[in-house]
Structure 1
Amino acid sequence: MKSLFDPLVLNEIENRINKLSTDSSAAWGKMNVSQMLHHCQFPLKTALKKNPLTLKPNFLAKLFFKKSMYNDKPWRKNLPTHSKLKVVKTKEFTPEREILLELVAKFSNHRDKKEWEPHPIFGKFTNEQWGQLQYKHLDHHLQQFDV
């Protein structure tokens, strides 16, 4: 599984984000491109402890879905999104893209971090799993917008 901690993968993700435009349309889902850029910030902010959202641990999610967060199997299209992570308000494309790119870069700078705070829903992840999780989430949504 690819990881956002790999410099080549980081470059790939940054290039794909930069290929998006205000005209990019989704192959599935309800979000427009600006909302998707904002949505993709949530997991990065969570890892970097910049997320004001309070999410409760979920034993069933941890038991049944945790491994799917970082394994090689792609996520299904139109998976349900936690209500606190849905973006329904209008967002501006350029600032959202710049914030996302900044968060991606900041997260990737933690490639040597040994101890992470537990994920608020899924609990403890290793450094390797955090990098894979972030890549998988970004890849899923970039595929949603055909980049």
Structure 2
Amino acid sequence: MNSLFETTSSQSILDRLDKLTPETPAQWGKMDVSQMLKHCQAPLDIALENITLTSKTGWLQKQIMKLFKPLLYNDKPWKQGLPTAKELIIDTPQDFDKEKTRLVLLITEFSKKSTVKTWPNHPLFGYFTPEQWGKMQYKHLDHHLNQFNV
């Protein structure tokens, strides 16, 4: 499984981002390319502790999340149309260049932290090892780049 902590994997993601244009159509889903770029920033912002999700999860939801947690960082591709936290849904117009630039900066910042041993708990899924954080971030970006056929 690729990880955003691997130089070749993070560079591959950056190279794929370079292929996007403001007109790149989605193969599935409701987001346009600019909204997707904004959406992809949130998991990186969470890991880097730039933002905090405000949604409260109940006991039952936490138990359900534990069942899905391994799917976030295993080798199997994510299915299309998976649910996401309401704070991560982007349904307003976004500026393509601004969002792409910020996403590249976040990927670069995150990928340089391969030696960090302690990461914050994820607000919905709890503890991830550094290895799991790297794989999960790669998998999320890969999923959405596939959504836009790059």
The answer to whether TM tops 0.5 is yes
Aligned to 2:48: 48
Alignment of 1:97-116 (within 5 A): 97-116=100-119
Aligned to 1:29: 29
Q: Which amino acid is the alignment partner of residue 4 of structure 1? A: L
Distance 1:102 1:117 in 2: 20
Q: Size of the alignment, in residue pairs?
A: 147
Distance 2:55 2:103 in 1: 21
Compute the displacement of 1:52 (Å).
4.1
Alignment of 1:107-126 (within 5 A): 107-126=110-129
Contact 1:41 1:100 in 2 (8 A): yes
Q: Which runs of 5+ in 1 are unaligned?
A: none
Compute the displacement of 1:56 (Å).
3.0
Structure 1 43/61 Cα, relative in aligned 2: closer, same or farther at 3 Å?
farther
For residues 29-60 of structure 1, the C-alpha deviation after alignment (integer angstroms, 9 at most, x for no partner) is 00000000000000000000001432334413
Identity over aligned pairs, percent: 48
Distance 2:128 2:65 in 1: 11
- Quote the RMSD (CA, aligned, Å): 1.0
SS, match of residue 40 in structure 1: helix
Distance 2:85 2:52 in 1: 15
Mapped pair 1:67 → 2:70: yes
SS, match of residue 34 in structure 2: helix
TM superposition outliers: structure 1 runs of 4+ over 4 Å: none
Distance 2:55 2:128 in 1: 16
Deviates more, 1:109-118 or 1:47-56: 47-56
- Which residue of 138, 143, 147 maps to 2:141? 138
Distance 1:115 1:56 in 2: 23
Distance 2:38 2:100 in 1: 8
TM-score of the superposition, structure 1-length normalised? Answer: 0.96
Q: Which runs of 5+ in 2 are unaligned?
A: none
Deviates more, 1:79-88 or 1:50-59: 50-59
Distance 2:36 2:9 in 1: 20
Compute the displacement of 1:62 (Å).
3.0
